[in-house]
């Protein structure tokens, strides 16, 4: 009896797999385009792009998505020609290939929304089919290269023409190198396996091929992995990456040979089956794809455990106060707290995504903006290995997209304007990112454009000329405000900066700052938390009520002495307090919250926060301690209040407000009518 197979059951996995392949395809096609502009080949990216499309075609055929099969087939055909040409692709071929990727992506969205994939756009297949002719023109221009290897091992016969060219056409001072790695139980016990060695060597250069060879090897082994790469690293560095002896490092010579008489390319070789790695050298590596909803569920369960621990801690405190013997209970509670923190760290690590992966599509965005605006622009990404909670990353991406769009469309001048100003014709947009130790991530978006004209912005907003960067940012972030007179496909709808501030400040509880100089450029500074669900908080009391604030947002806790407080006349409730010889603004938190209880009394404690570069101390009545909390954002617009990030349960079943002191600090500034704005 044959069971029927419902292909719809495979659709979610298919969509997830093809989405990753599309990201890879876009990235490699951008690299191919950059090389084509310089007239250089990029064999590795052409081969990876070819493999991504080949896999997309196979997966689409399995689930019977014929339009995607047709598109990827003809893209794959044209890239096969480029692959045989040594990785050389005409620049004119990039745009049709990019159009093909967009068509695949569009049909992916249709399938994800429950619709059928629409037919292939008229003329697209013809344009892709024509690429096979154009790329075949450069096939004969590829310079056949021979790599001198150990002929006894016959490695040269196992290299394709493309792989030979990869070994000998490296950029800069790269040289072809052969590294022999012999696996073994002792090395595997130290974590030195073919997988770890492959990763280390790939980071030192362009890893071209890994060839397993059976037979007697130095050190008593019976298997040797030959890794061929193009690199600038020294032999000692390569030897260290390979785990030391009995590994060997040898330089390869690569004299050119005459091309084939008939000029025909070498026939394409079928992929070789590599020998299986010994069991003792294997490690539990790989990637497991997990639905985000399952991670959310695990985090929700952990949040419940954190709240229950707070209740247990409160119960133990009550028993201790009643004279009950609780020493063993307190020890168990401490151990439970450590275990929960370890579990929290483990779950959050699962939810973390690299910022670089989140920003993969920005180069593609800038490429499209170059075409629509006619401006020459280069995007530089300097994000390192910084990571963010996926929930934060998903919310941040639209804000970063808006800032990059604004930089290209508003800030950067046209080539003619830049030439007249003595600037390079190509403008630069740079996005930097790094994580700090306090649980926050700092991002900067910088351009070398014309800068923001405060007077022009004020005229457009029909407002007084801003006195500083903070006031200028307030005008730019007004809902519906735009410096563009007309709506374009890129901007002019008055949706950009308002959305950025709403995401960064209101939704994530972060900071947004602006620096600009006319004729020099503009920089936006963003600070967002690593995660927004589970966090360490300071619990305090103010005007008879309990509140919480994230530990990462507070720079210092100070004691406020009444004799060291100065109240300038006309300061409208704002005093000054001395902090290590520096005058710091002291703001009554009770006053900001609209409480009438003892707002004129000197607070006992102060929470020092850095706001737009200046230190501000928020006066509170009493500090109750530090505690891990579960933040529940206030999503309902009817109950959302500026300065309130959300609510939490401290274990007594009563909701406690979690404050955003930066938003509260902004609320204390004079409004349009000259009055102090309050958070209530």
Could you please report the per-residue DSSP string of 272-305?
PPPPPPPGGG----------HHHHHHHHHHHHHH
Phi, psi of 530 (to 5 degrees): -60, -40
Tokens 């604030």 -> residue:
549
The CATH code of the domain that includes 391 is: 3.30.565.10
Q: What is the mean pLDDT of residues 308-337?
A: 88
pLDDT digits (tens, 9 = 90+) for 528-580: 888 777 788 899 988 888 999 988 788 888 888 877 787 776 556 678 887 77
The per-residue pLDDT for 280 is 42
Same domain? 372 vs 507: yes
Tokens 């020493």 -> residue:
327
Same domain? 164 vs 127: no
Give me the percent of the chain exceeding a pLDDT of 90: 6
Structure tokens at 112: 């994800």
The per-residue pLDDT for 204 is 82
In a domain, 437, yes or no: yes
The CATH code of the domain that includes 538 is: 2.30.30.40
In a domain, 289, yes or no: no
If you compute the radius of gyration of the chain from its CA atoms, what whole number of angstroms results? 31
The residue segments making up the domain with residue 35 are: 7-141
In a domain, 274, yes or no: no
Same domain? 399 vs 519: yes
Of 529, 555, 578, which closes a domain?
A: 529
pTM over 0.75: no
Same domain? 484 vs 381: yes
Same domain? 451 vs 571: no
In a domain, 678, yes or no: no
3-state secondary structure of 382: strand
Measuring CA to CA, which residue among 221, 256, 239, 222 is closest to residue 177? 239
Same domain? 236 vs 93: no
Of 481, 506, 529, which closes a domain?
A: 529
Same domain? 590 vs 561: yes
Same domain? 378 vs 513: yes
Q: What is the mean pLDDT of residues 421-449?
A: 88
Same domain? 453 vs 312: no
Beta strands (DSSP E) in 465-533 are: 511-517, 521-529
Tokens 């689930």 -> residue:
63
The CATH code of the domain that includes 171 is: 3.30.70
The CATH code of the domain that includes 60 is: 1.20.120.160
Measuring CA to CA, which residue among 57, 122, 62, 49 is closest to residue 89? 49
The total number of structural domains in the chain stands at 5
Ramachandran quadrant class, 142 (left: phi over 0; alpha: psi -120 to 50; beta: rest):
beta
Same domain? 381 vs 524: yes
Measuring CA to CA, which residue among 460, 457, 429 is closest to residue 444? 429
In a domain, 346, yes or no: yes
pLDDT digits (tens, 9 = 90+) for 338-374: 888 888 888 888 888 888 888 887 888 888 888 888 8
How buried is 113 (Cβ within 10 angstroms: 0-12 exposed, 13-18 middle, 19+ buried)?
exposed
Of 529, 549, 582, which closes a domain?
A: 529
Same domain? 132 vs 165: no
In a domain, 102, yes or no: yes
Same domain? 307 vs 423: no
């Amino acid at each position: 009896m044959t069971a029927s197979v419902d292909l719809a059951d495979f659709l979610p996995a298919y969509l997830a797999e093809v989405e990753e392949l599309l990201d890879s395809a876009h990235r490699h096609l951008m690299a191919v385009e950059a090389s084509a502009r310089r007239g250089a080949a990029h064999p590795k990216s052409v081969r990876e792009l070819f493999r991504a499309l080949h896999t997309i075609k196979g997966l689409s055929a399995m689930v019977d998505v014929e339009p995607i099969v047709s598109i990827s087939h003809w893209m794959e055909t044209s890239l096969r020609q480029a692959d045989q040409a040594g990785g050389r692709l005409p620049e004119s071929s990039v745009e049709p290939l990019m159009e093909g990727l967009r068509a695949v992506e569009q049909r992916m969205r249709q399938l994800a929304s429950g619709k059928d994939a629409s037919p292939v756009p008229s003329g697209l297949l013809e344009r892709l089919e024509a690429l096979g002719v154009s790329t075949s023109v450069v096939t004969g221009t590829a310079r056949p290269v021979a790599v001198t290897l150990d002929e006894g091992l016959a490695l040269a016969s196992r290299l394709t023409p493309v792989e030979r060219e990869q070994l000998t056409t490296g950029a800069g001072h790269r040289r072809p190198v052969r590294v022999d790695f012999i696996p073994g139980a002792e090395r595997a016990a130290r974590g030195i396996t073919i997988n770890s060695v492959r990763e280390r060597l790939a980071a030192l250069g362009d890893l071209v091929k890994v060839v397993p060879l059976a037979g007697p090897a130095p050190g008593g082994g019976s298997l040797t992995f030959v890794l061929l790469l193009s690199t600038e690293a020294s032999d000692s560095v390569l030897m260290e990456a390979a785990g030391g002896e009995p590994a060997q490092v040898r330089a390869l010579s690569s004299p050119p040979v005459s091309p084939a008489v008939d000029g025909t390319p070498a026939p394409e070789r079928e992929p070789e089956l590599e020998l299986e790695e010994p069991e003792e050298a294997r490690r539990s590596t790989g990637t497991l794809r997990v639905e985000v909803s399952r991670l959310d569920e695990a985090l929700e369960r952990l949040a419940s455990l954190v709240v229950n621990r707070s209740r247990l801690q409160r119960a133990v405190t009550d028993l201790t106060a009643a004279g009950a013997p609780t020493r063993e209970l307190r020890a168990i509670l401490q151990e439970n707290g450590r275990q929960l923190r370890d579990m929290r760290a483990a779950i959050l690590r699962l939810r973390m995504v690299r910022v670089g992966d989140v920003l993969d599509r920005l180069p593609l965005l800038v490429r499209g903006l170059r075409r629509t605006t006619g401006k020459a622009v280069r995007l530089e990404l300097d994000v390192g290995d910084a990571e963010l909670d996926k929930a934060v990353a998903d919310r941040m991406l639209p804000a970063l997209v808006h800032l990059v769009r604004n930089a290209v469309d508003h800030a950067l001048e046209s080539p003619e304007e830049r030439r007249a100003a003595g600037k390079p014709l190509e403008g630069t947009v740079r996005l930097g990112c790094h994580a700090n130790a306090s649980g926050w991530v700092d991002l900067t978006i910088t351009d070398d454009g014309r800068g923001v004209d405060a007077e022009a912005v004020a005229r457009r907003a029909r407002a007084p000329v801003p006195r500083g960067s903070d006031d200028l940012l307030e005008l730019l972030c007004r809902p519906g405000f735009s410096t563009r007179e007309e709506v374009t496909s890129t901007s002019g709808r008055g949706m950009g900066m308002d959305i950025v501030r709403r995401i960064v400040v209101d939704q994530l509880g972060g900071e947004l700052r602006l620096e600009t100089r006319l004729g020099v450029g503009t920089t936006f500074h963003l600070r967002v938390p690593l995660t927004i669900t589970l966090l360490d908080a300071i619990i305090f009391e103010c005007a008879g009520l309990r509140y919480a604030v994230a530990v990462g947002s507070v720079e210092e806790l100070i004691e406020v002495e009444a004799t060291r407080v100065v109240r300038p006349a006309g300061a409208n409730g704002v005093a000054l307090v001395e902090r290590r010889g520096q005058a710091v603004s002291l703001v009554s938190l009770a006053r900001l919250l609209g409480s009438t209880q003892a707002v004129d009394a000197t607070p006992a404690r102060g929470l020092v926060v850095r706001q737009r570069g200046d230190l501000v101390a928020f006066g509170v009545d009493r500090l109750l301690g530090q505690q891990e909390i579960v933040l529940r954002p206030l999503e309902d617009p009817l109950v959302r209040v500026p300065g309130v990030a959300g609510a939490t349960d401290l274990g007594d079943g009563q909701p406690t407000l979690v404050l955003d002191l930066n938003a509260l600090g902004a609320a204390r500034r004079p409004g349009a009518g000259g009055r102090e704005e309050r958070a209530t």
